[in-house]
Structures are given as C-alpha cells and as structure tokens.
C-alpha cells in the first residue's frame, strides 16, 4: 500500500525551477533572476566569522538584523519580520491568513509561489490576468475582493512580466481594499525600479496597517545562496502571526551575519544596481535588434514573446545546448514567452547571439 498523503499535497504546484545547473562548461545562468555579481567581500568575511559559532543555534529573535533593518528603513523593530528568504515569510503569511473558504487574490502571470499559498491552505486562489502591457490590472483585482478575501498580493515590479505600476496607483488600490484584508506588496525587485525610489513605499505603512512590504537580500544584495529576506509590516500583529506559524530559528546564523553586514554597504549596492540597469538597456537593445519587443522592464530581468511560430520549449532547449539558461514563459503563465535575467555584459551578449542564430 502506498503512503497516504494529505489531500493538499496533490494540489501544491511544483516550483518551476530551472534545471541544467549541471551542464558542463561556461553556462550563463539567466533563469532565476539572481545577481550576476559575487557577494561584497566584507559580507563574505562576516559569513566566515559567523561559521566559528555554528555549534550554537542562531539568535531566534534575529535582534541584530532587525535592529539594522530598523535603522536603515525607519520602521520599528516590532514591525519587522525576517525569514529564510522572503518566500519563507510569504508561505507563513499564507498559513497564518488562509484556510478553506477563504480567498487569495493576485495577478497572473506573477510569482510562481503565490499559487502554492492557496493550494497548501485549501483557500481559493483568484488569479487576475495582467493587462495588455503586462501590468497588474488593479481595478479588476479590486472587483475580485469579496467578504471571503483574506489576502491580496501585489508584486511590484512584477515577476515574471518585469513591469511596475506607479506607487500612487498602488496606494489608491490599498486604500480601496477593506482594512481587515491583508495586502502584501512584494518588492523583491524594487531597487531596480526607475519609476520610484526603493524607500518611497515605506511611508504607506503608517497609513495602511494591513499592508506588509516584502523585501529580500537575494537579488540586489546577491545573497540568494544563503536565503534571507524580510517584511516591513504595517502592524505588529502581522509580524507576530508570521513568526508564530514557523519553526524556531528560521533564519540561520550565517544569513543573519551576512545581511547585517550587507546593509552597511549601500554605496556598493547602488553601484551594482547602476551596472545592472546599464546592462538591462543593452540587453533590451540587443533583443530589439532581433525584432523582439520586451515588456517595459523595471526589474533585473526582461520578459518577451517569441516571434509567432517559434516553439518555446525547442528554443529553451537549444539555448541550454549553447550554455544559456532562461526561464520558460509557459511555466509562468504565458505560452511562447521567455523570461531572461540581466547577466553580465558577456552573458547578455551570449544570449542575444545564441537567440539571434536560432531565430535566423
């Protein structure tokens, strides 16, 4: 007799992670929206120093990191949650807020972990199609809010479509959401967004206690290998709830040390963002030269439809053969599209040249 698993196991979608990491040779990893730059050397030193204390559990209250985040963002410590990546906080929010009969509203295509929240809890997940410019359709999302809605997620800039909405539109949306409904503004890529300064959304927290901003050290700080993210919360209740549903010690010692150190290097982080933005423009130009028009990117990746009649799976496989990994649009909600992370100059050139040869 096979083991009987819980019903929800069948519903939970498998995360569409890229494979091919074991490909031989020099592979351009443009599939997971990672930073192409190695971590800041002082951060590597801080991790090395933390390793000597690994016989002890990490600080379960994440005091040093929360205090450093509080200093950086001006949000009180009791309204700051940290996690084993921001996904950890996202899943905890799903567990704390959702249950059978409840509803979760989010855009689609959007981050592939959102469907997991509904599936795991038995809540109803309502996916609201993005508009023709690949942006959230906030009016349509508002129309989906009912008495059963417990959580609404807005991803800005949106993964995988790369687009962003002006903050004023997002605030008007949050204002229209009933106060007892939690809103997560997932800002994993906010530092790459030229429509607004990354710190601007923080002011919304004082006006909207039902709002939480989800941030991460995985992207701009280049620390996704360690797993550390955080949420700046409009209310202490949200922070306590997401802490309550998780195992103790959810953020490891090396990750805490790395994040505290990384926050001290804002100038270097800003330089890396600038480099990435310059590369984004180059990559977009390269794609346009191939006759491809990417969506208006405000993130460290681009999103585009392949020319009519081009098979997405064949294209991805052929690119992998040539040492370029990209993410399939079909797995992210749009057949025939590709999501390509902005890499180094050489990696982007490799992608453009390989794709050009395939389309020729």
Ligand X SMILES: Cc1ncc(COP(=O)(O)O)c(C=O)c1O
Contact residues for ligand X, defined by CB under 6 A = 33, 85-87, 111, 155, 159, 186, 188, 216, 218, 224, 229
The greatest distance separating any two alpha carbons of the chain, rounded to the nearest whole angstrom, comes to 59
Shortest reach from residue 19's CB to ligand X, in Å: 16
Closest contact distance (angstroms) between CB of 321 and ligand X is: 25
Measured from the CB atom, is 302 or 352 closer to ligand X? 302
- Tell me which residue of 163, 181, 206 sits closest to 301, measured CA to CA: 163
Nearest C-alpha neighbor of 241 from the set 171, 184, 174, 158: 184
DSSP 174-186: HHHS-TTSEEEEE
Rounding to the nearest 10 degrees, give the CA dihedral for residues 8, 9, 10, 13: 100
Secondary structure letter of residue 273 according to DSSP: H
**Rounded least distance, CB 25 to ligand X, Å:** 25
> Closest CB to ligand X among 220 and 287?
220
Least separation in angstroms between residue 90's CB and ligand X is 6
Nearer Cβ to ligand X (330/349): 330
> 123: closest CA among 149, 141, 146?
149
Decide whether 158 or 352 has the Cβ nearer to ligand X.
Answer: 158
What does the angle CA 265 – CA 266 – CA 271 come to, to the nearest 5 degrees? Answer: 105
Prior bond of 335 cis (ω within 30°): no
**Shortest separation between residue 313's beta carbon and ligand X, angstroms:** 22
Q: In whole angstroms, how close is the CB of 1 to ligand X at the nearest point? A: 37
Q: Counting every residue, how long is the chain?
A: 360
For ligand X, the closer of residues 326 and 352 by Cβ is: 326
Burial 265-284 (b: 16+ CB within 10 A, else e): beebbeebbeebbebbeebb
For 217-237, the DSSP string reads SSSTT--TTT--EEEEESSHH
Residue 240's φ and ψ, nearest 5 degrees, are: -65, -40
For ligand X, the closer of residues 121 and 216 by Cβ is 216
Give the integer Cα–Cα distance in Å for 323 and 333. 25
Q: Least distance (Å) from ligand X to the CB of residue 291?
A: 28
Please identify, using beta-carbon distances, which residue of 86 and 284 lies nearer to ligand X: 86
In whole angstroms, how close is the CB of 108 to ligand X at the nearest point? 13
The smaller minimum CB distance to ligand X, of residues 186 and 354, is found at 186
Taking CB atoms, the residue at the shortest distance from ligand X is 85
């Amino acid at each position: 007799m096979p083991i009987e698993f819980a019903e929800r196991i069948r519903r939970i979608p498998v995360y569409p992670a890229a494979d091919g990491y074991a490909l031989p040779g020099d592979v351009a990893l443009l599939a997971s929206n990672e930073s192409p730059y190695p971590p800041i050397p002082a951060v590597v030193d801080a991790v090395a120093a933390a390793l000597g204390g690994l016989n002890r559990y990490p600080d379960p209250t994440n005091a040093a990191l929360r205090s450093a985040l509080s200093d950086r963002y001006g949000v009180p410590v009791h309204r700051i949650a940290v996690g084993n990546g921001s996904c950890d906080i996202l899943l905890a929010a799903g567990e704390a807020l959702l249950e059978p009969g409840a509803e979760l509203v989010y855009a689609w295509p959007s981050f592939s972990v959102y469907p997991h929240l509904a599936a795991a809890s038995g809540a109803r997940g309502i996916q609201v199609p993005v508009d023709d410019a690949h942006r959230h359709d906030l009016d349509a999302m508002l129309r989906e809010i009912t008495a059963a809605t417990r959580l609404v997620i807005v991803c800005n800039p949106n993964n995988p479509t790369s687009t962003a909405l002006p903050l004023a539109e997002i605030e008007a949306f949050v204002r229209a959401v009933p106060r007892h409904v939690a809103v997560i503004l997932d800002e994993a890529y906010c530092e790459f967004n030229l429509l607004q300064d990354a710190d601007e959304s923080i002011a919304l927290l004082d006006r909207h206690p039902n709002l939480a901003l989800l941030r991460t050290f995985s992207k701009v700080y280049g620390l996704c290998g360690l797993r550390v993210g955080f949420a700046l919360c409009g209310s202490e209740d949200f922070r306590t709830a997401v802490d309550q549903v998780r195992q103790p010690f959810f953020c490891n010692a090396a990750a805490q040390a790395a994040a505290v150190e990384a926050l001290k290097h804002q100038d270097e982080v800003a330089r890396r963002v600038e480099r990435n933005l310059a590369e984004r423009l180059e990559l977009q130009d390269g794609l346009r030269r191939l006759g491809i028009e990417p969506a208006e990117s405000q993130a460290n990746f681009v999103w585009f439809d392949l020319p009519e009649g081009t098979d997405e799976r064949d294209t991805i496989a052929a690119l992998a053969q040539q040492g370029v990994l990209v993410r399939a649009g079909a797995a992210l909600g749009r057949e025939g599209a590709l999501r390509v992370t902005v890499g180094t100059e050489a990696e982007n050139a490799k992608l453009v040249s390989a794709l050009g040869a395939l389309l020729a």
